[in-house]
Amino acid sequence: MATGSMETALMSDPTAKLPDDLLVEIISRVPFKSTRCCKCVSTRWRDLIAHPDHREKLPRSTLAGFFYKTYDIASRPYDSHGYLSVSGNWCPIDASLSFLPKWEKIDLLDCCNGLLLCRCSKPYPEEPDYLVCNPATEKWVTFPANEWSSESYARLGFDPAVSSHFYVFELVPAVALNWNLKYEYNIEEVGIYSSKAGGWTHQIEWDDPIDIRNFSGGTFLSGVLYLCSYHNLVAAIDVEGNCRFIPVPTLNDARCGPYIYASRGQLYVANYGAAEVSIWVLEDSSSEDYWTLKHNASYLQLFGSSSEEYYGVISAHPEDDVLFITVETTLPGYRLQMKLFSYEIDSKELRFICDLGWTSRCPYLPYVPLFSESLADGH
């Protein structure tokens, strides 16, 4: 390069002489939002940030908010969905999902690392389709349901740090009402959809059905879907449909099964009872008994009273030691009021976020924006 051209390049980009490793190290020290702007500096910066070898070093997107179901008998359709931002407006999205085609009904099922899984109802007798969309890029794909009934449900598995492809786990249950008058979902078979294969790759029928909590929150980590059971167990289902069980720590006064989540590459369970909540981490996922108590807090410590209001852990921050907790109270007229709090484990600080109102429903799905074109082959 001529001397004049080199001087011009240095004036326009003072980092032109920096080696790639050093430039990546510098970019890794800025917040995620600034990283998005860095991609616009030059093609070199864009390629370095997008390179797979740098995914672990560079900052990732963080929790932006929650999608959740709503139910309002005064409006149609009765079942819909809402969105709540918990990180300001740094990531504006079309939370109404108006960029999607107009189906008879869109049922929100799961959210995993920036992708939403929905079931799209069609006029009878047509069977529904599944839909996976990225609200940040407004890309979406659809594919036919494998085996569907009004009681079946599905979960999404996706890890952009490993692959741009996703999996859908269709869980087919036989519903039973147990003696405690709680619905248990005895999962008899699972179908696995692979976006890489472009179809349903596995249909596994288990000899012994597994009991899964209704509306069970699950998490996908290292190619395995983890779901909670009523029986102090976590079911671990891999992408080939194989299932094993992991015993989890319990509380004597546990009100329901544990909540399971992943944070910073590790698996956690939150057990909550009438008196306290305890957080456990699985130090070694290959060992079924290596749970370590990370934290516990009493209801009195959390809320400053011994009230019998119902509370529950609904989610956790994927990068920080922060839990999200709902507290349910009964208003005059027997309407339920749901309040959302965050709880920082290290500082033991409880912070009120907002009233969710009486129309909000489980599941509350944590949303981490994904800006890559993972659904580039879709619409």
pLDDT score for 88: 67
- 3-state SS of the chain is CCHHHHHHHHHHCCCCCCCHHHHHHHHCCCCHHHHHHHCCCCHHHHHHHHCHHHCCCCCCCCCCEEEEEEECCCCCCCEEEEEEECECECCCCCCCCCCCCCCCEEEEEEEECCEEEEEEECCCCCCCEEEEEECCCCEEEEEECCCCCCCCEEEEEECCCCCCCEEEEEEEEEEEECCCCCEEEEEEEEEEEECCCCEEEEEEEEEEEEEEECCCCEEEECCEEEEECCCCEEEEEECCCCEEEEECCCCCCECCCCEEEEECCEEEEEEEECCEEEEEEECCCCCCCCEEEEEEEEHHHHHCCCCCCEEEEEEECCCCCEEEEEEEEEECCCEEEEEEEEEECCCCEEEEEEEEECCEEEEEEEECCCCCCCCCCCC
65-367 in CATH: which number? 2.130.10
Confidence of residue 169 (pLDDT cuts 50, 70, 90): very high
pLDDT in tens, 7-40: 454 456 677 777 888 877 777 666 555 665 676 7
Per-residue pLDDT at 10? 44
The pLDDT value given to residue 6? 43
Question: Domain spans of the chain?
Answer: 20-54, 65-367
pLDDT at residue 225 in the model: 93
- pLDDT, average across residues 320-325: 85
pLDDT 10s digits, 270-313? 887 767 888 888 876 566 568 888 888 887 777 776 555 677 78
Is the model more confident about 277 or about 182?
277
**Would you place residue 96 in the very low, low, confident or very high pLDDT band (cuts 50, 70, 90)?**
confident
Question: Region 239-243: what's the mean pLDDT?
Answer: 91
pLDDT at 177 (0 to 100): 44
In the predicted model, what is the mean pLDDT of residues 253-274? 77
pLDDT above 70 as % of the chain:
71
